[in-house]
Amino acid sequence: MDILSNLAMGFQIAASPYTLLLAVIGCFVGTIIGALPGLGPSNGVALLIPISFSMGLDAISSLVLLTSVYYGAMYGGRISSILLNIPGDEPAMMTTLDGYPMAKQGRAAEALVVSGVASFVGAFAATIGLMIFAPYLARVAFKFGPAEYFALYMLAFCTLGGIGSSNQAKSALAAAIGLAIAMIGLDKTTGMPRFTFGELHLMDGVDFLVAIVGLFAVAEVFFFIETHGRDSAIGVKLGKIRVPWKMLRQTSGAMMRGTGIGFVSGVLPGAGASLGSFLAYMAEKSLARDKDSFGSGNPKGVAAPEAGNNAAAGGALVPMLTLGVPGSGTTAVLLALLLTLNITPGPLLFTERPEVVWSLIAALLIANIVLLLMNVPMVRIFVHILSVPAWILLPGVTMVAFVGIYSLTGSSFDMLMMVGFGALGYVMRKLSIPTVPAILGILLGNAMEDNLRRAMVLSDGDWAFLFSSPIAVGLWIAAILGFVAPIFLRGLLKKPALPDDDPTTIED
């Protein structure tokens, strides 16, 4: 009953005309961002955070807008996967395997409708799961002390590095870069400057929004210029849009199974939507009697990964809201938004700011219905937007990044830093160093240091205190397994071959 009464409170806030308008705008913009190859949800949300602040939105409105963008981008990624054979982001990668063959067979409209419904099933069920499981996990989190939180942060770094990347050493390097950036500024305990090199602008540390917009959005502009600068053509005809009811019934089981797999993948810190869609596709293929039809236009090969990646997107909000640990790259960006709004994610969030949590959940449920209505009958509009040439898109993205950051900080130094972080992100991408662990280090570095110091004070400098409780020991074991196990499992879980012209490498 508590859940229903809290949800009713959330709907009272989220169902206002103004908030509904923000949800619709967020869903529309998010779908466009997801449909455009290369941008993806992480870049899109990072790009729009400064804009939401410059609009003077309050905390709830900002969350509704940007989570609608997040869900919209997850829906939109499938459009370019099916029509262009280029995934809008990495979680949509598996959709290309059967979606593009369906489009080449003249069934593009059917593939888009099935994938749109699968996205709705996955995201809506995951939001219900978030509503049910998050309060319970929040109660468990009350038992966490500094040792447990430090171990939890280590788990996040290890799983993001282990599962989200193909090279653990590069992930560790990225995390170290992020932690070093988080150390910049005055030491809270001693007041001594660290890594400021005498620069007054760095005494307060690095604004993580500046770093995130640079590492995600500006770096993406550099990368997009190099790789996609002249791409804009749609390769197949869409045809007439109609709902294939028989095909929806045949794929309903795949949608449900993909939803369950995706939600569990999303709840695990670091696993994210990419793993959710991959596991959902592989599970569906292994269960099928006609395995050979996968990869040549099987609708179940479209429904399962789309349900999986959208369910994982909802599941990733569970650890972010209850523990303050993001489950994916995009939730790391949303965590930055919460911190900027002076909202501290964690178990106390559900008791101290219930209006924020439950209005967010209500807004997600509304956003899913809006997205279903947008992505089935209105999909032709988004297909036309895919024809926007890069020479129009790129200056627009660049302008939004610069205007957004300047309106937020009013500092030309921060704009220079944003460009610097963009160059750093570009170099990291060229060297195949993942950027998400670096973002995580920037976001969690200070909290991680605070908890380590508190643990040392409580134990009088005894490092064994970090392993003094069953919860902490369990988290350390999970962290080690999360970092080491993928080395051995990577060969067993070899991904199916991607289309030859797929260059997308965005992490979610």
Name the one residue in this structure whose structure tokens are 């193909």.
166
Report DSSP state, residue 493.
T
- Residues 288-292 have a mean pLDDT of 79
Q: Residue 421: pLDDT band by 50, 70, 90 thresholds?
A: very high
Q: What CA–CA distances, in Å, run from 139 to 288, 321, 430?
A: 40, 12, 42
Closest of 112, 119, 330 to residue 237, by C-alpha: 112
Name the one residue in this structure whose structure tokens are 């793993």.
275
Q: Residue 180: pLDDT band by 50, 70, 90 thresholds?
A: very high
Confidence at residue 1, expressed as pLDDT on a 0 to 100 scale: 57
Name the one residue in this structure whose structure tokens are 């300047």.
406
Residue of 412 and 86 predicted with greater confidence? 412
Closest of 171, 146, 135, 136 to residue 156, by C-alpha: 171
Highest mean pLDDT of the ranges 64-73, 134-143, 326-335, 380-389: 64-73
Q: Which two tokens stand for residue 229?
A: 């600068």
Torsion angle of C-alpha atoms 472, 475, 476, 480, degrees rounded to 10 = 180
Residue 239 has pLDDT above 70, yes or no: no
Q: Read off the pLDDT of residues 14-28 as tens digits, 9 standing for 90 and up.
A: 878 888 888 889 898
Say if 439 falls within a structural domain: yes
Confidence at residue 136, expressed as pLDDT on a 0 to 100 scale: 81
Confidence at residue 423, expressed as pLDDT on a 0 to 100 scale: 93
Give strand pairing partners of 447: none
Say if 497 falls within a structural domain: no
Say if 64 falls within a structural domain: yes
Highest mean pLDDT of the ranges 95-109, 328-342, 413-427, 480-494: 413-427
Confidence at residue 502, expressed as pLDDT on a 0 to 100 scale: 43
DSSP string, 326-377: -SSHHHHHHHHHHHHTT---STTHHHH-HHHHHHHHHHHHHHHHHHHHHHTT
Q: Residue 490: pLDDT band by 50, 70, 90 thresholds?
A: low
Residue 305 structural domain: 1-230+237-490
- Residues 55-74 have a mean pLDDT of 85
Q: Residue 500: pLDDT band by 50, 70, 90 thresholds?
A: very low
Residue 493 has pLDDT above 70, yes or no: no
Confidence at residue 267, expressed as pLDDT on a 0 to 100 scale: 81
Nearest 5 degrees, angle CA 81-CA 85-CA 89? 40
Say if 354 falls within a structural domain: yes
Sign of CA dihedral 384, 386, 389, 395: positive
Q: Read off the pLDDT of residues 245-276 as tens digits, 9 standing for 90 and up.
A: 888 888 889 999 999 998 888 887 655 677 77
Residue of 315 and 36 predicted with greater confidence? 315
Say if 81 falls within a structural domain: yes
* Percent of the chain at pLDDT exceeding 70: 87
Q: Residue 45: pLDDT band by 50, 70, 90 thresholds?
A: confident
Sign of CA dihedral 222, 228, 234, 236: negative
Q: Read off the pLDDT of residues 124-145 as tens digits, 9 standing for 90 and up.
A: 999 998 888 888 877 777 788 8
- Stated as kind and residue range, the H or E segment containing 193 is strand 193-194
Q: What CA–CA distances, in Å, run from 299 to 233, 287, 402?
A: 24, 14, 42
Highest mean pLDDT of the ranges 123-127, 377-381, 398-402, 483-487: 123-127
Q: Look at the chain and report how many structural domains it folds into.
A: 1
**Amino acid identity of 503?**
P
Say if 507 falls within a structural domain: no
Residue 280 has pLDDT above 80, yes or no: yes
Confidence at residue 496, expressed as pLDDT on a 0 to 100 scale: 52
SS3 sequence of 30-53:
HHHHHHCCCCHHHHHHHHHHHHHH
Q: Which two tokens stand for residue 224?
A: 């997009």
* Percent of the chain at pLDDT exceeding 90: 7
- Stated as kind and residue range, the H or E segment containing 185 is strand 185-186
Q: Read off the pLDDT of residues 67-124 as tens digits, 9 standing for 90 and up.
A: 888 888 888 878 877 877 766 666 777 888 888 888 888 888 888 889 889 999 999 9
Cα–Cα distance, 508 to 275 (Å, whole number): 10
Confidence at residue 504, expressed as pLDDT on a 0 to 100 scale: 39
Q: Which two tokens stand for residue 179?
A: 């932690």
Q: Residue 420: pLDDT band by 50, 70, 90 thresholds?
A: very high
Q: Read off the pLDDT of residues 187-228 as tens digits, 9 standing for 90 and up.
A: 877 888 888 888 888 888 888 778 888 887 788 778 777 766
Confidence at residue 8, expressed as pLDDT on a 0 to 100 scale: 87
Say if 155 falls within a structural domain: yes
Q: Residue 390: pLDDT band by 50, 70, 90 thresholds?
A: low
Beta strand pairing status for 185-186 and 193-194?
antiparallel
Q: Residue 508: pLDDT band by 50, 70, 90 thresholds?
A: very low
Say if 47 falls within a structural domain: yes
Mean pLDDT of the chain: 81
Cα–Cα distance, 273 to 328 (Å, whole number): 7
Distance between first and last Cα of the chain: 34
Name the one residue in this structure whose structure tokens are 């979610």.
508
Residue of 217 and 499 predicted with greater confidence? 217
Confidence at residue 67, expressed as pLDDT on a 0 to 100 scale: 86
